[in-house]
Chain A
Amino acid sequence: NAGVTQTPKFQVLKTGQSMTLQCAQDMNHEYMSWYRQDPGMGLRLIHYSVGAGITDQGEVPNGYNVSRSTTEDFPLRLLSAAPSQTSVYFCASKTGGRSGANVLTFGAGSRLTVL
């Protein structure tokens, strides 16, 4: 049971390049999400998904695309990277439902630098 796995852990891009941050979980969690963490800030929600084929926008979705073709995977795509997207990205997942026992499991984070 690996939990939530994010790849790559580090990435440097040039402005305008595209890339995909991968996220996979092996816990059969329905809910998956992407957050970004900027210096001096807490985490902010980018996109989330409540199940395969269902995605929705969070607080800061501009510049990012997501898809959920399987329960296990939830990739985050940057179509044209900008310096403002320099950040640490976290993927997190949990089982569905409102119970307080259903808490997010976070990946280890991916540090992205856009030059």
Chain B
Amino acid sequence: AQTVTQSQPEMSVQEAETVTLSCTYDTSESDYYLFWYKQPPSRQMILVIRQEAYKQQNATENRFSVNFQKAAKSFSLKISDSQLGDAAMYFCAYRIHIYQGGSEKLVFGKGTKLTVNP
């Protein structure tokens, strides 16, 4: 079964500090993609960062970066210089392709609620 595990239901960080959110996944595929989504109280799902499994280099988007350990099936998100606006639920997701032609689905973890303290 394809699963995504986020072991930290809640995390907190001081404004301007760094926090790391954990994610592990289970797959037998070699070609896949990993994502972190942010869901603020508005409940809009916002893509934070993506990682192609075939790329060894860790993805970075401004203050957000990942630590992708393919052999360990680990995909953690690091938020540097945390801001109040970073407070949200964060979901790790794994994309699998069902068959040729663009069919796919995202498998989501249960999320980590991040609180940013001023």
Interface residues, chain A, with chain B CB atoms under 8 Å away: 30-31, 33, 35, 40-45, 48, 50, 56, 58-59, 88, 90, 92, 96-98, 100, 103-104, 106, 108-109
Contact = CB atoms under 8 A, between A and B. Distances in A.
Q: List the 9 closest pairs (A to B, CB-CB), nearest first.
A: A42-B108, A96-B102, A106-B45, A45-B105, A100-B52, A43-B108, A109-B43, A100-B33, A50-B102
Nearest to A96: B102
Contact of A42 (B91, B97, B98): B91
B106 to A, nearest CB: 7
B13 interface: no
A47 to B, nearest CB: 10
Contacts, number: 63
Contacts of B103: 31, 48, 50, 56
Given A100-B33, A100-B50, A108-B43, A50 B101 contact: yes
Interface string B57-81: 0000000000000000000000000
Nearest to A49: B103
A99 B97 CA distance: 11
B38 to A, nearest CB: 11
9 contacts: A40-B110, A42-B4, A45-B106, A50-B103, A96-B102, A97-B102, A103-B47, A103-B50, A104-B106
Interface of B: 4, 31, 33, 35, 42-45, 47, 50, 52, 91, 93, 97-98, 101-111
Contact of B101 (A33, A42, A96, A103): A96
A50 B103 CA distance: 6
Given A90-B45, A108-B44, A109-B44, A42 B109 contact: yes
Contact of B105 (A58, A96, A100, A106): A58
Contacts of B91: 42-43
B32 to A, nearest CB: 9
